[in-house]
Amino acid sequence: MTENPELDSIEKKIAVVENWIGKITAEGVVDQIDPSLVREVLESFGANFEISEEERLSLRRYSNLNRRLGMDATWGTDQVNEYKRWLIDEYIPQYERRTGRELPTLYDGKTDKFDNIKHSGMLQFFGELTAFAAGEKSFADYQRLTEDRVRKGKEWQERELNAPYEPSPHAPFPPEFPQEAWGKIKSWRR
């Protein structure tokens, strides 16, 4: 059997990105990484970064809704919908059963109320990773947002069951979530 150096190279690159995601999961720390490396790995999972300027610009947006055009162009509408369904139908219910606690919902500062959306931060993780790989989000912004989401998720997880929770402008996700999301994204490998 002949070895394929290109395959070996992509395997090594996947391992580097996987270790990077692992550190985010284990320590809540986002180390410096070359976005072109993340991009190449995501391309091996089906991402297409050859998108229009309008689609590219939407990846810079903060909200999941405003980023959707670029996400659909990069991953395809079916993949983005599959990821969201996985969050809502599988990950969140399994997490809540396993931990015995509900995930936080989004806080609206304008109305001073919480809504019923639990998956926002987890969808943001996917969008921000994609935007970073596309070169549409700086490392500093990616690092700040991701570390804040992990920190807030850890605070939520470690607080007393009915203790007050200080809302964050950045929707959190459980500290172990990046590794779970990575597994889902990696399952799309071609």
pLDDT at 1: 43
Residues 136-153 have pLDDT tens digits of 999 999 999 999 999 999
Compute the average pLDDT of residues 181-186. Answer: 97
pLDDT at 103: 86
Answer yes or no: is pLDDT of 67 > 50: yes
Compute the average pLDDT of residues 73-85. Answer: 98
Compute the average pLDDT of residues 103-130. Answer: 84
DSSP state of 176: T
DSSP state of 171: -
- Mean pLDDT of all residues in the chain? 90
Distance CA 65, CA 43 (A): 23
Answer yes or no: is pLDDT of 2 > 50: no
Helix (H) or strand (E) holding 17: helix 5-27
Distance CA 165, CA 142 (A): 24
Domain that holds residue 145: 5-186
Compute the average pLDDT of residues 9-19. Answer: 96
User: Where do we find the tokens 């009915």?
Assistant: 162
Domain count, the chain: 1
Helix (H) or strand (E) holding 114: strand 113-114
Of the candidates 150, 152, 153, which has an alpha carbon nearest to the alpha carbon of residue 128? Answer: 150
